[in-house]
Amino acid sequence: MDYVPATMLWLLTIVRIPTAVDTERAAVLRATFFAAIACTLFIPEVYTATDPLLGGHNHVGLVLIITILAGFWQFHTATVLAAYPDEARRRRHLTRGRMAAAVAGMGVIGGFSVSRVGVTNQNLPLAYGAQPGMQLFLWTGSAFIIWVCLSVTHACLKFLPQMRGRAFKAGVGCFAAGCIFMVLALGNRLALGLLEEGLIPPSPIISSLNFSFPVLETLAVLLVSIGLMVPRFRGSSLQVQRNIRSRWLMLRLTPL
């Protein structure tokens, strides 16, 4: 199941490559690109193979969380650009997002730098969660991602009634649902980190949390990907229909 989110995000990134030169939509492309890198690095085999290339000691885990933060920062930027036409409100929200991303990045890097994480382990925050630095690493990154997800969900639901087109509304609804599932997945990880210190594994609660996390994560990525793809495919299908109709009308033209 670890390969499903990474595959979906890489496909979504490839689909959105033509928007790279569009200042209003390029943030979504950057967000999916960073998220695809993070999901790829989170695959156990990729994580284990990549860490020695970066010097070992779980440096790949630091790269992973930084790319996740960058991806969610760009999702926040894309939402602000899409939802707020007023330039003053845009600047205010974008500045808030940049400041939150900077604080989260410094907290994550600071927490990692003071932690002892010598043995490569894909579940970095859980494996070394007893250390204060790893607690800072985990909670700072999670708090930023949860804030972005809630902010994006609020903006999507606030402007959903004003949107036109079923495809666009369905896409925005799926995107908001994906953000909610991401919050649940992060809540799962935080709860697991707290419970593993007090419960002796294997515990039914810990087992259920370990089982539900990849399900919640996969659902979140799938819904976000579908939400971003649906409006684009709708526009592409309409363009194809117009091209076919235009060619048919050209064939029916006769000399006066």
Q: Does residue 239 or residue 29 have the better pLDDT?
A: 29
Does residue 213 carry a pLDDT above 70?
Answer: yes
Confidence of residue 228 (pLDDT cuts 50, 70, 90): confident
Q: What are phi and psi of 25, to 5 degrees?
A: -115, -5
Is 178 within 8 Å of 145 (Cβ atoms)? no
Longest dimension (CA), the chain: 88
Mark residue 115 as left, alpha or beta (left: phi above 0; alpha: psi -120 to 50; beta: remaining). beta
Return the pLDDT at 43: 92
pLDDT at position 225 over 70: yes
Kindly report, residue by residue over 82-140, the tens digit of the pLDDT: 888 888 989 999 999 999 999 999 999 999 999 999 899 988 888 888 899 999 999 99
How high is the pLDDT of residue 60? 95
Mean pLDDT calculated for residue range 46-52: 94
Rounded distance, CA 62 to CA 77, Å? 23
Residues 6+ apart with CB under 8 A from 57: 51, 117, 118, 120
d(CA 154, CA 168): 17
Taking 90 as the threshold, does the pLDDT of residue 199 lie above it?
no
* Nearest-angstrom CA–CA distance, 68 and 66: 5
Q: What is the pLDDT of residue 172?
A: 81
Judged by phi (left if over 0) then psi (alpha if -120 to 50, else beta), residue 86 lies in beta
Domains of the chain, residue spans: 3-240
- Residues 60 and 42: their CA atoms lie apart, in Å, by 9
What is the pLDDT averaged over residues 20-49?
91
The radius of gyration of the chain from alpha carbons, rounded to an integer in Å, stands at 21
Mean pLDDT value across the chain: 84
pLDDT in tens, 163-176: 666 767 787 888 88
Looking at the chain, list the stretches that DSSP marks H as alpha helix, in order from N- to C-terminal side.
3-15, 26-42, 44-50, 59-83, 87-113, 124-127, 132-159, 166-195, 204-252
The rounded distance, in Å, linking the Cα atoms of 71 and 85 is: 22
Q: Which two tokens stand for residue 256?
A: 């006066």
Instruction: Judge contact between 147 and 93, C-beta under 8 A.
Output: no
Q: What is 3-240's CATH number, 3.30.750, 1.10.1740, 1.10.287, 1.20.1070?
A: 1.20.1070
Burial 118-128 (b: 16+ CB within 10 A, else e): eebbbbbbbbb
Report whether the peptide linkage leading into residue 202 is cis, meaning its omega lies within 30 degrees of zero: yes
What's this model's pTM, rounded to 2 decimal places? 0.82
Residue 106, amino acid: M
The tens digit of pLDDT for each residue in 58-80 reads 999 999 999 999 999 999 998 88
Stretch 188-199: mean pLDDT: 74
Q: Is the pLDDT of residue 162 over 90?
A: no
